[in-house]
Amino acid sequence: MVGIVVVAHSYPLAQAAVGLAREMAPGDEVAIAVAAGLDETTLGTDATQIQAAIESVAGPAGVLVLMDLGSAVLSAELALELLDPEVREQVLLCPAPLVEGLVVAVVAAAGGAALAEVAAEATGALAGKQEHLAGPAPAAGEQRAEEPAVVETFTVTNPHGLHARPAARLVAELRDVAAQVTLRNLTTGAGPVPANSLSRVSTLGALPDHEVEVAASGPEAPTAVERVLALAARGFDDPAPPAPPAGATEPVAEPAAAGPSAAEPAAAEPLTAGSGGPLPASPGIGIGPIWTPEPPPLTLPDRPAGDPASEADRLREAVGQVRRETQEVRDRTARELGEQDAAIFDAHVALLDDAELLDQVREQIEAGAPVERAWAEVLGGLAEQFAALPDPYQRARAADVQAVTEQVLRALLGVASGFVSHDGVLVAADLTPGEVSQLDADLVAGIVLAHGSPTAHSAILARSRRIPMLVAVGAGVLDLPVRTVVALDGQRGELVVDPDPATRERFAGRAREWAEREATARAAAGAPANTRDGVTIEVAANLGTVTDAAEAAAAGADAAGLVRTEFLFVNRAEPPSVSEQERAYRELAEGLGHRPLTLRTLDVGGDKPVPFLPTGQEANPFLGLRGIRLSLARPEILRDQLVAACRVAHDSPVRLMFPMVATRDEVTAALALLDEAITVVGAGRPAGLEVGIMVEVPAAALRVAAFAPLVDFVSIGTNDLTQYTLAAERGNPSVAALADPLDPAVLRLIDEVCRAAPSSVRVAVCGELAADEVAVPVLVGLGVRELSVVPAAVPMVKQAVRQVDLAAAVPLAARAVTLPSAAEVRTLLAGD
C-alpha cells in the first residue's frame, strides 16, 4: 500500500489535515507520516525531518509526498537528494493541494491504488470545487451566447461512457450541421462543452447511465439535436472492444521495478500477475531477444517565436501530414483486421480535426509561443485531463492524446519515428496504436511494456493481431540490455528474464503444446465431445448475431447454447415486430445448420438498457428491474417474442430460456405467456420445444428442485452468478479480482444445482467459465453436461472434454469445493 508524507510549515495544520483524511478512510491501513514545523509550535520545514518521515513509511508500493507551499517544496526536493537511491526511485512529490489532495490520496491508497493513480487522484482533487466556483457572470457589455432553441436529454448506454471513439463519432455526425451544439453532464454537473470538440466531449466524464443534456441553437438546431439523440440511441455506433484476457485488471501506471538491473542477472523465476508483476494483455507465448524501438529523441527547440502567421502555417502543414498518415494506417488496419479495430484511429483523426483544440494552439502562437511549444502545452494539458478522469477505460485514452502529440511534434521537427520491426520481443515504455499496427506479427515474438493498460487501444490491437503482450511490468524492464533473452506468457502474465535452458524449454513446450492442441482440436471439431470413459458433453456456442451462427457451425458447435436476442432490440426506438424477429431466428437456425437453437428471451435492464423500455432511476440497477422481471412488466413484448420463437420451432429445434429468474412464480407467469403464444400461432405446441431457465442468482441455484417440474434444462450463467455471490461487480476494477468464477462459494452453488436437478433436467453452463479449459474437469465432475462458449472456443473446449476421465473428475470436483479460495482451486486444477 502506498505510504503518504505530509509536509507543512505548521505542525497543528498537518495533524488536523491528517485527522480529516482519517475520517474519510477509517482505520490505520494507510501509513501516514508528518514532517511539519520546526517543532510543535514553530513554523518552518526541515529536509532531514522529511527524509525520516519518507523512510518511516517507505515500502514496495512507494511514497507520495504532499506539501503546502514555498520552502516546503524546496525542503522536500532536498530530502529526496538525501535518500538512498533505491528509496528515492519510489518517491513522488505531488503538486496537489494539501488538504483536498490528502483526503482523496488516503482514500485511493486505502483502496489499493498504485502510486501514480494515488497521485492522479490527489492532483485532480480540486476539480469539483473549481467546477462549482469557476463560472463568473459575463462582464457588463460582454455579448452573451445565443440561447439554445432546442434542449433534450439522453442516457449514456455505452459500456465505457463517452470515451474517445463515441465522442469522435458524435463530432463527425455534427460536422455539416449549421448549429451550435453543447453537451452538459446532468449527473455530475460537468459542462457545458461544445459538441464539435472531441477534446472537450471526451473529458466530460459521461459514464454509463449518466444523463446528458444536448442543447442547440442556430438554423439547423432541431436537426442537430435529432441527430445526437438518434446517435445516442444507437450507442454512438460503438462496438464493444475485445475483452482483456482473464485476470487482467487496470494496472498501476508506475509500478515498482519488476525486472532485474543489468548489473544483477535474473534468476529464471517468473514474475507473475497478481503479485505486483506483469499484467496479461494479449495471450500467447513469446521467447526471444529484447529489441527496443529507437526513434530519435524529441527535444523542443529553445528558440524565439517567428511570425505568428508563419508559425500557424507550420502547424497546419504538420497536422495535415499526420492526418494523412493516420488515415493511411486506418485504411490498412481496416483491410487487415476489420472496421472495428480500424475505428481506434477515428479518435486520432478527430483530435487532429478538433477546431477548438487548434484554436487554443493558435492563441498561444499569437501570444508569442513557438509552434512546437504551443502544441506540446495545449495537448499536454488535455492528456492530464484524461488521466484525471475517474473511469479507468476513459483514463487510458490519455495515451491516444500523447500519441497524437508526439506524431505532430515529429512532423514539426522533421524527426522520423524510426520504428522498424525486429525478430524478438519488443520492450518499450509504452506503444501507440499506430506503432502496434506497424509491427510485423511474423517477426515480433511478443511485447513487454513498462507501463500501459490491458484496456488501451494498443493492447486491443495486439490481441487482434495475435501478438503476446504484457503491460505494467515496471520501469526496471527498460534497464535490461538489448539482446537479453526473455520468455513471456501473455495469458498467465508471466515474464522470465534470461531464462535458463530448462525454463526456455518449459515456455517453448507450452507454445508447442498449444499449437498442437489447437491443430488437433480444429481437425476434430465436428466430432462429439466424449470423455475418456464415454460420457458425451454437448459443446454449444453463444451467439450474439446471425453471423455468429455460421461461425459456430464451422467451428463444430453441437448447438446454440445461448442466443442473446438483445441484438434485435438495442439501439432502436421501438421493439422489433413479430415478423422481424421470426426472420432473424430462422436465419440463425439456417446458419447453424438446424442444430438446436437456445433463444434467451430479452435480457435487458441493469447494465443493458434499451430506449423503449425505460426502467427509471434505480439505486442499484443490477439488483433492479432486469431480465425476466422487466419482460413480465411488459408482457406484450415477451409474448411477441415467444410467438416468433414458436413459429420457428415448428420447423427447427428450439429451446426457450428465461433469464434472471429468482422465483417459481416468475417461471409460472412466463409459461402462461408461452401458452398464449402457442395459441396465437395456432398449430399446437411445437414438437421438441424445450423450456429452461438461467441460474444467475444464488436464490435460483438454491431452489432448483422447485423449478425442476416446470423446465427441461437449467443453464448456469457464471458471470452474473459470480458477481452476485461475491458481491463484486465484474466491471468494477476495484473489486474485479474478487469475481473469480472458480471461487469455492460459486462452485458450491453449481454443485447444489447439479445435485438438485433430476436426471430429466439437463444442467448447462453458459458463462465465461465454460470456456476456461482448466475448469472443464471440475464442471464435468460436478455434473454439468453442456458447455456453451464463444464460437472460436468450441474446438479447444471439445478437446479439453476429451481429456477428462470422469472417474477422476468427480473426486477432483469434490476436493475443489472444499478449498478456501479461488487461488487454491486454480492451483489444484493446474496440478502445481
In terms of average pLDDT, the best of 67-76, 597-606, 730-739, 744-753 is: 744-753
Contacts of 815 (CB under 8 A, 6+ apart): 828
pLDDT at 139: 37
| Cell triple for 460 | 486491443
What string of DSSP letters covers 234-270? TGGG-PPPPPPPTT--PPPSSPPP-S--TTSPPPS--
Per-residue pLDDT tens for 495-548?
999 899 999 999 999 888 888 888 888 899 999 999 999 999 999 999 877 778
SS in 3 state form for 570-607? CCCCCCCCHHHHHHHHHHHHHHCCCCCEEEECCCCECC
Catalogue the active-site residues.
457, 766
Is the pTM here over 0.75, yes or no? no
Does residue 805 have a pLDDT over 70?
yes
Taking each continuous run of H as one helix and of E as one strand, the counts in the chain are: 33, 25
Extract the C-alpha cell encoding 435.
506503432
The backbone torsions φ and ψ at residue 551, rounded to the nearest 5 degrees and listed phi first, read -65, -40
User: pLDDT (tens digit, 9 = 90+) per residue, 435-452?
Assistant: 787 788 888 999 998 876
Residues 413-434 pLDDT 10s: 776 655 667 889 999 877 877 6
Contacts of 75 (CB under 8 A, 6+ apart): 7, 45, 46, 47, 50
Residues 646 and 681: beta-carbon distance below 8 Å? yes
What is the pLDDT averaged over residues 64-92?
A: 83
**Bridge-based pairing state of the strands 560-564 and 536-543:** parallel
Domains of the chain with bracketed CATH: 3-132 (3.40.50.510), 145-237 (3.30.1340.10), 271-294+419-515 (3.50.30.10), 308-413 (1.10.274.10), 523-830 (3.20.20.60)
Pairing between strand 469-471 and 279-282?
Answer: antiparallel
Q: What is the pLDDT of residue 715?
A: 96
- pLDDT (0 to 100) of residue 665: 94
Cα distances from 176 to residues 202, 224, 697, in angstroms, run: 20, 10, 48
Arithmetic mean of pLDDT over the chain: 80
How many CA atoms lie within 13 Å of 410's alpha carbon, on the beta-carbon side? 18
Which of residues 542 and 396 earns the better pLDDT score?
542
For 26-40, what is each residue's pLDDT tens digit? 666 788 999 998 777
- Cα–Cα separations (whole angstroms), residue 755 to 548, 695, 749, 752, 814: 33, 14, 10, 5, 12
pLDDT for 218 equals 85
Q: Treating both helix axes as pointing N-terminal to C-terminal, what angle do 164-173 and 221-233 enclose, rounded to 10 degrees?
A: 150
764-793 residue pLDDT tens: 999 778 887 888 999 999 999 999 987 878
Average pLDDT in the 636-658 region? Answer: 95
Element (H, E) at 622: none
Q: β-strand 271-272 against 494-497: which pairing, if any?
A: antiparallel
Q: If you average pLDDT over residues 197-207, what whole number do you get? A: 70
**Rounded (10°) angle between helices 806-816 and 822-830:** 160
Q: Is residue 458 a contact partner of residue 347, using CB atoms and an 8 Å limit?
A: no
Percent of the chain with pLDDT over 70: 80
Cα angle at 685 between 578 and 707, to 5 degrees?
95
pLDDT in tens, 675-699: 999 999 998 999 999 999 999 999 9
The whole-number pLDDT of residue 236 equals 79
More confident of the two residues 290 and 264: 290
Rounded to the nearest 10°, the torsion over CA 620, 624, 627, 632 is: -160
Can you give the pLDDT at residue 263?
31
Return d(Cα 411, Cα 451) in angstroms, integer. 25
Hey, what's the cell of 554? Answer: 464451422
- Which pLDDT score is estimated for 406? 78
Residue with the larger pLDDT of the pair 391 and 435: 435
* pLDDT at residue 723, as a whole number: 84
Over the stretch 700-756, which tens digit does the pLDDT of each residue have? 999 999 999 999 999 999 888 988 898 876 545 455 557 678 899 999 999 999 999
pLDDT band with cut points at 50, 70 and 90 for residue 603: confident
pLDDT above 90 covers a percentage of the chain that reads 30
| Contact (CB, 8 A) for 638 and 673 | yes
In the DSSP assignment, the letter for residue 772 is: -
CA 40 from centre of chain = 48
